[in-house]
Structure 1
Amino acid sequence: MRQRPRDDSRGILDPGRLLREVRFRRHLPAESLRQWVEHYWLIDWTLHTPFEQRIVPHPAVNVVFQHDSGDSDDGSDDRPESGEVAGVGRDLFRITLTGTGRVCGVQFRPGGFHAFWRHPVAELTGHRLPLPTGRLTRPDEPVCAGTDDDRRHALDTLLSSWAPEPDPLAEEVIRLAEAIRTDRTVLRVDDFAARHELPVRRLQRLFVEYVGVGPKWVIRRYRLQEAAEQAVGGPPRWADLAADLGYSDQAHLVRDFTAVAGVSPAAYARSVR
């Protein structure tokens, strides 16, 4: 079981600018929730000019609470805390932050949200639904209040109240998705299925039911996030990287990257420098 949250920047486009503009940090949930939850992510900001952040979504469901005062510096435009369930996003996610505010998010492990939702997770793919949503009730008190420990405790209490149910199939899918994320040699669904002694169709059904997208999409998304992360450290040899990530040629990588990130790999590498 992980003892500290991940410290990579996968999925965050221009992570250096994010860290300059806002306070961003990750925390682990209570140990009893870690089999389903990747981490909590907290963002606080006080901005004099609007800031747009772009995210290449993970193959994961997020529950997000936000409290902000819009463009008001003194909080006079204070708004109530909002909460939503965000299914796996297929497209680039953009959000513009203004004024003063804070966000508390829960990123579930791919396959982990099924224990709380208890329906096919594909029903949520591409959608953002306000809480309460079915059996996922709203918290009694604001989540984005107090210290980091206060917020972590509020999220632990809320998720525990949703009474997640262990499921051997969910555990299997979580392990498989983690193998895809951590092993960059995973490039093809048929090879991955054979490696784990699973029929391809069963693997596809499990991922759609528990993750919300198919295994091919998960493989490609993790490899594209890798490409973006490598670009932050300096422009790689794109042809070599394309081959390493399982693309037939550099042009294919460029097309996929541009479709997801909104800019070509070379343009992105220049922008973050």
Structure 2
Amino acid sequence: MTDPNRGVLYPDRLPRFTRLPPGEAASELVEWYWIPQWDLPDGVESRQALLPYPAANLAVEPDGVTLWGVTTRAGERVLRGSGWAVGALLRPAALSHLAAAPADLADRHVVLDEPALQSAVAAAMPDPRAAADVVEAWLVARVGALTPEARLANAMAGLLMTDPEILRLDDAAEHLRVSARTLQRLSHRTVGLPPAAMIRRRRLQEAAQRVRDDPDAALADIAADLGYADQAHLANDFRAVLGLTASDYRGEQ
């Protein structure tokens, strides 16, 4: 599994947070389950800054069930009072069964009319594993058998988000033995972002983690290691997506 804090810009500020792998039955549908629980004093806020994975999320909370599409920018969630969420980071094979047009769901969300799922998850909390098992059973029943295209979409997303040698769309196409156009169409239908955007997100997540975990590493070296043209290119990516420079981000840790 990928580092559990990748994509979390300030992991030290997290509330109680559990991340669980999927069971075998849902291994092609879910990357992992994420389950925050919080109980904050009156007047206290916990601000969670995120650079999300380029993937959709299914979230079950006390007030309902929501399908969140892929995001194109960093985001923030402000936690107050008491609460919980049971979320599933979805693989493309699952999203294509839950949303007719994933690209139309980018930076948006839809509320799903699933009161039985919400009630069952609420009954299972605060046990994270039991709650995740409820979501897993629902997903497996909802999605059913996977098509070859769904499995190819999973392979594409896994390659783009984990292989540091994949720096261009053509690299991924060659590795998967399909055309670049095929991957572009597949990504649009099953993720909602072009492959190039997924590669950029992976590199920026890795860069943020390196900046956070290695205070002594030179930014120019990080940029070179991750395939950026130069340090300025890395700096521009930070500003465009995160709204701050890599140096400023390092100083906030």
TM-score (normalised: structure 2): 0.90
- Counterpart Cα distance in 1 of 2:54 and 2:191: 7
Is residue 268 from structure 1 mapped to residue 249 from structure 2 by the alignment? yes
Aligned to 1:194: 174
The answer to whether structure 1 residue 248 and structure 2 residue 229 are counterparts is yes
Contact 1:234 1:269 in 2 (8 A): no
Check conservation: 1:61, 1:113, Cα contact below 8 A: no
Which residue does the alignment assign to 2:59? 64
The 5 A counterparts of 1:155-194 are 155-194=135-174
> Paired residue for 1:215?
195
**1:53, CA displacement in angstroms?**
0.4
Q: Secondary structure at the match of 2:12?
A: helix
Tell me which residue corresponds to 1:82. Answer: 64
Match of 2:85 among 103, 123, 134: 103
2:22 match: 29
**Equivalent position of 1:232 in the other structure:** 212
Over 3 Å counting, the alpha-carbon distance change for 1:141 and 1:198 in structure 2 is same
CA deviation after TM superposition for structure 1 residue 153, in Å:
2.6
Asked whether 1:14 is paired with 2:16, we answer: no
Deviation at 1:45? 0.6
> CA separation of 1:246/1:140 partners in 2, compared to 1, >3 Å: closer, same or farther?
closer
The aligned residue for residue 91 of structure 1 is: 73
Structure 1 ranges of 4+ moved more than 6 A: none
TM-score (norm 1): 0.84
Residue type matched to 2:21 in 1?
L
8 Å CA contact 1:114, 1:120 repeated in 2: no
Q: CA deviation at 1:193?
A: 1.9
Partner of 1:55: 50
Aligned counterparts of 2:170 and 2:219: Cα–Cα separation in 1? 25
C-alpha displacement of 1:167: 1.3
Unaligned 5+ segments in structure 1 are 68-80
Count how many residue pairs are aligned between Structure 1 and Structure 2: 248
Which of residues 100, 107, 116 is equivalent to 2:97?
A: 116
Structure 2 unaligned spans of 5+? none
RMSD: 1.9
- Please state which structure has a larger fraction of its residues in helix: 2
Separation in structure 1 between the aligned mates of residue 81 and residue 249 of structure 2, nearest angstrom: 27
Return the offset for 1:15. 0.9
Contact 1:63 1:85 in 2 (8 A): yes
Equivalent position to 2:128, from 126, 140, 148:
148
Identity in percent: 33
For residues 6 and 192 of structure 1, what CA distance do their matches in structure 2 show?
A: 19
Q: Which amino acid aligns with 1:104?
A: V
Q: What displacement does 1:118 show?
A: 5.8
The Cα shift of 1:256 comes to: 0.9
CA distance in 2 between partners of 1:194 and 1:30 (Å): 31
